[in-house]
């Protein structure tokens, strides 16, 4: 149960290649934070720096307030699940999970059992008796008194035990196995198990230890799609059961969205944005986050934003689409004037309207991907710009379904609430807060922007 603070953490490899730039994050106790980003963005490196498997070039990493930069992984009270499970091939599942417990040599306090308490009392009586008849020499009496004091103190404190007893280990491992549903595999070797089962053993091994921080390095990426969905649900349940701080690394944005309390979206060693899933989905700081979160990718158009009095319009496909509602007020509040923008809208926020009207755009369907519960339509407008639309099939009549074929023309309406406006040069969301990071060209951190 620990708070993890990363202050100005940098990772510079030999030949001054910087893998992680000025990483600052404060993970609260019991929070589930997900590092997400394309491969090579430094997410795994950061996780490994927290774990202690990589040296921290600059900056400090604190767990529960204690600087751990120089601590070895085993002294940081963390446990980790690896991408390729890293199970010990020569040990059975039980031994794999018991391995960390057998190595743990910390002293723990255990309550005395009944007979033990009785034995201590007898011992104390014996000493008192000796103390009584050793009236003559004081030194011996003083010694006896000290001994009696000690026994009394240890009686209250409880038994000091080094590491885990055998049955403690058995109990912890079997509990974990029960939680993960791998009880009847305990005597098998990892070689004889499927990917999913091996992943569960890996989680089990990390779970049995009581640890401050639970690290997971793309645990699901080696599993097939169906198993991945199932494991995602199990990890959510697991999180509630273990109830400790989680740091989870993945390149799959769906995992990030479903699992994370907060998501840290990263690219080329920089943090693009930190926020809750909804913040990242609805209010992306920049175009990169917008396009990275959500599948299929957000559509973007190079257009102009027109300010007419206190109304805003978007000049799209030589039509003027009005912007109303919350977005318009926000623009007004920010005092945005007419300017060039990058308009972003997610495929699922485009609505197919039955009738053509001022606010809709006629598009012809090029490809219709049938995904079962929804259609992914690849359409193109009159001037050829490609747009992707996602339409749930449930509320379409049979006739409409038949018409969804290549060449058919449909009318698209833009949901004003779902529009995003990005500055073409810096790709920063116009409505984003001051600490938004640009995602185009050399990345300038908020702090540095003032000097630039």
Partner 1 sequence: MEKRSMGMAAKRRVANITTYVILVLISIIWIIPFIFLLLNAFDVGNPGLTGNVWPEKWGLGNFAYLFSAESNFLRWYFNTFIIALFACVGQTAMQFMMAYALSRFRFKLRKPMMNMMLVLGMFPGFLTMIVLYEVLSGLGMTGDSAVPGLILVNIASSGMGYYVAKGFLDTMPKSLDEAAEVDGATKFQVFYKVIMPLCKPIVIYTVLTSFMGPWGDFVFAAAIAKGAQGGMNVATGLNSWLDSSNIAGFYKYFCAGGVIVAIPVIILFLFLQKYYVEGVTGGAVKG
Positions in the binding site for partner 1 (CB under 8 A):
51, 53, 72-74, 78-80, 82-84, 86-90, 99-100, 103-104, 190, 205, 209
How far apart are alpha carbons 305 and 64 in whole angstroms? Answer: 48
CB-nearer residue toward partner 1: 196 or 347: 196
CB-nearer residue toward partner 1: 87 or 289: 87
Contact 131, 141 (CB under 8 A): yes
Give me 373's structure tokens.
Answer: 């519960």
CB-nearer residue toward partner 1: 223 or 293: 223
CB-nearer residue toward partner 1: 79 or 250: 79
Q: At its nearest, how many Å lie between partner 1 and the CB of residue 192? A: 13
CB-nearer residue toward partner 1: 82 or 112: 82
Tell me phi and psi for residue 94, to 5 degrees: -60, -50
Q: At its nearest, how many Å lie between partner 1 and the CB of residue 21? A: 24
* Cα distances (Å, whole numbers) of residue 211 to 32, 51, 104, 245: 14, 12, 12, 9
CB-nearer residue toward partner 1: 82 or 301: 82
Q: At its nearest, how many Å lie between partner 1 and the CB of residue 246? A: 15
CB-nearer residue toward partner 1: 92 or 411: 92
Q: At its nearest, how many Å lie between partner 1 and the CB of residue 97? A: 10
**Residues 319, 323, 327, 331, CA torsion sign:** positive
Torsion of CA 113, 115, 119, 122, to 10 degrees: 120
Q: At its nearest, how many Å lie between partner 1 and the CB of residue 219? A: 12
**Residues 228, 229, 233, 234, CA torsion sign:** negative
Contact 378, 386 (CB under 8 A): yes
Q: At its nearest, how many Å lie between partner 1 and the CB of residue 87? A: 8
SS3 332: helix
Q: At its nearest, how many Å lie between partner 1 and the CB of residue 121? A: 37
Q: At its nearest, how many Å lie between partner 1 and the CB of residue 91? A: 8
CB atoms within 10 A of CB 335: 7
Give the single-character DSSP code of 212. Answer: S
Rg (CA), the chain: 31
CB-nearer residue toward partner 1: 69 or 229: 69
SS3 48: helix
SS3 338: coil
Residues 6+ apart with CB under 8 A from 263: 33, 34, 36, 256, 257, 273, 274, 275, 276, 277, 280, 293
Tell me phi and psi for residue 24, to 5 degrees: -120, 125
CB-nearer residue toward partner 1: 190 or 347: 190
**Residues 122, 127, 133, 135, CA torsion sign:** negative
Q: At its nearest, how many Å lie between partner 1 and the CB of residue 217? A: 9
How far apart are alpha carbons 182 and 178 in whole angstroms? Answer: 6
């Amino acid at each position: 149960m620990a708070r993890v603070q990363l202050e100005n953490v940098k990772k510079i490899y030999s030949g001054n290649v910087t893998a992680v730039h000025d990483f600052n994050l404060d993970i609260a106790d019991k929070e589930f934070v997900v590092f997400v980003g394309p491969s090579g963005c430094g997410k795994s490196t950061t996780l490994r720096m927290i774990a202690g498997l990589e040296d921290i070039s600059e900056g400090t990493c604190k767990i529960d307030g204690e600087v751990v930069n120089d601590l070895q992984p085993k002294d940081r009270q963390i446990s980790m699940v690896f991408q390729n499970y890293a199970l010990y091939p020569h040990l059975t599942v039980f031994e794999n999970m018991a391995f960390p417990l057998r190595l743990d040599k910390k002293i723990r306090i255990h309550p005395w059992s009944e007979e033990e308490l009785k034995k201590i009392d007898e011992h104390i009586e014996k000493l008192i008796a000796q103390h009584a008849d050793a009236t003559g020499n004081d030194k011996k009496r003083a010694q006896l008194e000290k001994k009696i004091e000690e026994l009394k103190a240890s009686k209250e404190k409880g038994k000091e035990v080094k590491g885990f007893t055998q049955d403690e280990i058995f109990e912890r491992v079997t509990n974990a196995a029960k939680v993960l549903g791998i009880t009847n595999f305990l005597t098998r070797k990892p070689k004889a198990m499927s990917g999913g089962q091996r992943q569960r053993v890996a989680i089990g091994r990390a779970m049995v230890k009581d640890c401050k921080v639970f690290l997971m390095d793309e645990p699901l990426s080696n599993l097939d799609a169906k198993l991945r969905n199932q494991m995602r649900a199990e990890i959510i349940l697991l999180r509630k059961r273990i109830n400790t701080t989680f740091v989870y690394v993945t390149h799959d944005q769906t995992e990030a969205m479903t699992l994370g309390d907060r998501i840290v979206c990263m690219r080329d060693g920089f943090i693009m944005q930190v926020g809750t899933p909804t913040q990242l989905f609805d209010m992306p700081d920049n175009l990169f986050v917008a396009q990275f979160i959500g599948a299929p990718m957000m559509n973007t158009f190079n257009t102009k934003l027109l300010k007419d009095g206190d109304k805003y319009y978007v000049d799209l496909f030589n039509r003027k689409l009005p912007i109303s509602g919350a977005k318009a007020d926000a623009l007004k509040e920010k005092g945005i004037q007419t300017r060039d923008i990058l308009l972003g809208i997610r495929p699922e926020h485009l609505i197919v309207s039955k009738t053509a009207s001022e606010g809709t755009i006629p598009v012809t369907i090029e490809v219709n991907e049938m995904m079962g519960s929804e259609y992914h339509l690849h359409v193109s407008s009159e001037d050829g710009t490609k747009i992707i639309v996602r339409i749930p099939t449930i509320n379409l009549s049979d006739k409409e379904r038949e018409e969804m074929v290549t060449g058919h023309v449909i009318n698209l309406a833009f949901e004003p609430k779902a529009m995003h406006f990005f500055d073409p040069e810096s790709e920063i969301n116009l409505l984003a807060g001051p600490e938004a990071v640009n995602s185009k060209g050399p990345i300038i951190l908020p702090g540095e922007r003032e000097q630039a």
